[in-house]
Amino acid sequence: MTACIVGWSHLPFGKHQDASAESMVVEAARAAIADAGLEPADIDEIFLGHFNGGFVAQDFTSSLVLQADPALRFKPATRVENACATGTAAVHQGVRAIEARAARIVLVVGVEKMSELAGPAVGETLLRCSYVQEEKAIEGGFAGVFGQIAQSYFQRHGDQSDALAAISARAHRNGCANPYAQIRKDLGFEFCRAVSEKNPIVAGPLKRSDCSLVSDGAAALVLADIGTALRQRKAVAFRAHAQVNDFLPMSRRDVVEFEGCTRAWGQALQQAGLELADLDLVETHDCFTIAELLEYEAMGLTGRGQGSRAVLEGWTEKEGRLPINPSGGLKAKGHPIGATGVSMHVLTAMQVRGEAGGMQVEGAKLGGIYNMGGACVASYVSILEPLR
């Protein structure tokens, strides 16, 4: 336990035509510093999670955070990128800066502005998170990548369409209680299960309801060392944090095993001295419903090929054995890539402090986070608990 979250902010996710990446960074940064009860001059270092990849023209963005206040001028600021795990990569860099005693107070901001590109261009940009040399011809962009993964899993373990629909339906049901979610509507199992004009097939067996959303948004948090955190109004400690990277080409690994996810969870739980069953909730990376299904198995919630049990038997409900994505996850909340991992940490911090409102899991004190870059290439796990 070396770093704590002592303040945070979260902007609503969605398609925000009147907001820019810069304006969202500034708004989120100011709000997080204020929430921590600190002054901008107190910040020692800044990390900005921003994937970009061509979503906006401004590609050098680390110093945009300085626009939040003149007192941030000349603070060290670094942009961090690791595909869809960009936000957690930035958070973990902040934790490491505190562990190394290079900083006492760190500001982390995650942002993405995806809606400036048209649909096909969004798909082309996201496909750069794959191994382009081998996978650029996959139809359907990154949805096509996960469509292939879903097909492989179905061939090995049978049709899982009911489980995928249940994952999507639960996400949207939970998202109704999330004030930051892009979609706050209970779509229901039947809608998510059936192919229709409003829910067409996108890639392989994946329908539109199986895919996360194109989103704009930002979230921010302030990290502090233990000594500083104990003097703050609130403090959520990192019980553990782990990162694992796997081979980029899907051809070099079994894509339905999610071995990097398994290893990251194993390292984090060992570091924390915990079992998975000790956790009160998990915010996991449901960029596609098949990803969440595989993550159940990879984290050890079920055996291999049995992930459907977790959702069909109610284990992942808010009152279940291990509540998964009480926020609605990426599926309902939205997936502005650079902001996603920061959002997951903010929402989990709210949970373990009992401040999650309608999303609250009763009695939650230990929260896990799994944020993934690419098709389980970069795997990050954090475990949070309240310090005060």
Q: Please give the structure tokens belonging to residue 156.
A: 């090995």
Q: How many CB atoms lie within 10 A of CB 303?
A: 10
Contact indicator for 219, 28 with CB cutoff of 8 Å = yes
96-117 per-residue burial string, b: 16 or more CB within 10 A, e: under 16 = bbbeeeebbbbbbbbbbbbbbb
Catalytic residue chosen out of the listed positions 4, 10, 16, 84:
84
Give the contacts of 252 (CB within 8 A, at least 6 positions apart): none
- Alpha-carbon distance 282 to 360, whole Å? 12
- Alpha-carbon distance 274 to 213, whole Å? 33
Q: Which amino acid is at 365?
A: K
- In 158-302, where does DSSP find H-type helix? 161-175, 189-193, 226-229, 259-272, 289-299
Reply yes or no on whether 335 is catalytic: yes
Contact indicator for 61, 21 with CB cutoff of 8 Å = yes
- Alpha-carbon distance 249 to 129, whole Å? 11
Tell me which residue of 85, 64, 5, 38 sits closest to 371, measured CA to CA.
Answer: 85
Catalytic residue chosen out of the listed positions 285, 335, 345, 376:
335
Give the contacts of 384 (CB within 8 A, at least 6 positions apart): 5, 236, 237, 238, 239, 345, 348, 349, 352, 366, 367, 368, 369
Q: What Cα–Cα distance (Å) separates residue 229 from each residue in 6, 95, 224, 333, 386?
A: 6, 13, 6, 29, 11
Reply yes or no on whether 50 is catalytic: no
Q: Please give the structure tokens belonging to residue 285.
A: 């990376």
- Alpha-carbon distance 53 to 19, whole Å? 19
Catalytically active residues are 84, 335
